[in-house]
Structure 1
């Protein structure tokens, strides 16, 4: 039984990684990102990120997260147009060539962190400020027609 559970977890990760690479919808990438965070799986989280924002000194395990639930997920067409303009005129050098497609999605979420362990040393407290209900934006690019959607930025704006 334990072997079955372990194989199921490994197999599910492979399915998730396959789906994010084949996703034609940026929302699938975002949902996969949240799935990786909730499962504390750095491989899945990294698979959703563009190479330009994957930092070597970050474990991407999100150990402090108890639950990060998507309440709603919508593409913001106005922010997408603004981001496209910004990439074209102000961030030309960020990518080797202009991206095939861009998307900005608004996520309404609920974030619950694990209780603070006062005895542990915490190096990353970035999630404490956004705990509870909130809105977060994800900026994604699809570099070529056949490439997967990847997160290149995220934040309040």
Structure 2
């Protein structure tokens, strides 16, 4: 253990011994780590979500084709369905059906590997996989390819594959 690590451990021990009835969540927040039950940070996505994200990223440059679900061409929901299937999770075919099957996640709790649903007038029209730092992997439109892109609107909702 480094000297820094030893001092950090001593400080944590002192903090815990003085805590008394203070909750574990308060201690975690003081220590700089949020340990809320069910919460995930960008660095701690579920294993299947992280794997799906990596699979989508590996498809970089694959051409868009309406109705295609891989392995060489994709539309938006085809890419998410393909990526999660390869990661061991089944998703419905369309963006709207994927939205209905996902567990809602507030933007403040989004994690790498969550689905990002684009909506207008109550209708989901596009889906991608959250890559962190406000970006998604997606297959955007005819003439485009699978790519990493900044989320361009606030009209998005997040969902976690169950």
For this structure pair, what is the TM-score category when the shorter chain's length is used for normalisation?
Answer: under 0.3
TM-score by length of 2: 0.23
Report the structure number with the largest CA radius of gyration.
2
TM-score by length of 1: 0.24
